[in-house]
């Protein structure tokens, strides 16, 4: 489905992921969404953990969700994709890349902000005034999908270990010097 994200009609796209349990249909909820970077970034910078440098998100995070309620559990299936600025692990150049993934999660819906001892805080979403927000979950899944080693292109030559020149731009001076000495 990620390939169809660009074809979503704007009028059918949900711009937030706040859902009301008061009007929950028995068949569940299915929706396309587009979250602006301003919705996602606060979740990437909040908390005590140092998550590293916050990515430069260039487009709305777009995707599709199918939600099914089963007691206190919410089954979340779907996908998402977003364009971001990344740094290549080989040549250290910035490039525009795409981060996307499928979603297949089960989360506990709980009243208020406190957890009971048997609830797993990693899969808990608070329900306040009959509503819950899936934005923190999507932000977490985005962050978990971030590549450990982003590569600008499959044939990236990286940096010269001798002088540090970007070998994608041509041969470096130290390589030419070594070649002419032989």
pLDDT digits over 83-103, tens only?
999 999 999 999 999 999 999
Tokens of 127: 């329900």
115-149: b (≥16 Cβ within 10 Å) or e: eeeeeeeeeebbbeeeebbbbbbbbebbbeebeee
Q: What is the pLDDT along the chain (182 residues), one digit of tens a residue?
A: 333 443 334 346 788 899 999 888 989 999 999 999 989 888 887 655 555 667 889 999 999 999 999 888 899 999 999 999 999 999 999 999 999 999 999 998 886 555 455 545 457 888 888 899 999 999 999 989 988 899 999 999 999 998 889 999 998 888 555 544 44
C-alpha 116/C-alpha 134 separation (Å) is 20
Kindly give the pairing relationship between strand 13-14 and strand 29-35. parallel
pLDDT tens digit sequence for 130-156: 899 999 999 999 989 988 899 999 999
The answer to whether 57 and 84 have CB atoms below 8 angstroms apart is yes
**pTM listed for this prediction:** 0.76
Lookup: tokens for 58:
């260039």
């Amino acid at each position: 489905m990620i390939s169809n994200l660009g074809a979503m009609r704007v009028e059918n796209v949900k711009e937030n992921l706040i859902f009301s349990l008061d009007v929950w249909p028995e068949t569940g909820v299915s929706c396309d969404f587009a979250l602006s970077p301003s919705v996602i970034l606060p979740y990437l910078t909040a908390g005590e953990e140092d998550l590293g440098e916050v990515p430069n998100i260039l487009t709305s995070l777009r995707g599709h969700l199918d939600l099914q309620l089963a007691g206190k559990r919410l089954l979340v299936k779907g996908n998402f994709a977003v364009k971001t600025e990344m740094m290549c692990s080989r040549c250290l150049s910035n490039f525009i890349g795409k981060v996307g993934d499928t979603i297949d999660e089960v989360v506990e819906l709980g009243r208020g902000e406190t957890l009971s001892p048997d609830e797993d805080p990693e899969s808990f979403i608070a329900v306040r005034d009959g509503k819950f927000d899936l934005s923190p979950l999507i932000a977490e899944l985005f962050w978990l999908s971030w590549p450990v080693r982003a590569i600008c292109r499959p044939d990236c030559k990286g940096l010269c270990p001798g002088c540090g020149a970007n070998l994608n731009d041509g041969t470096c001076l130290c390589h030419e010097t070594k070649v002419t000495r032989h």
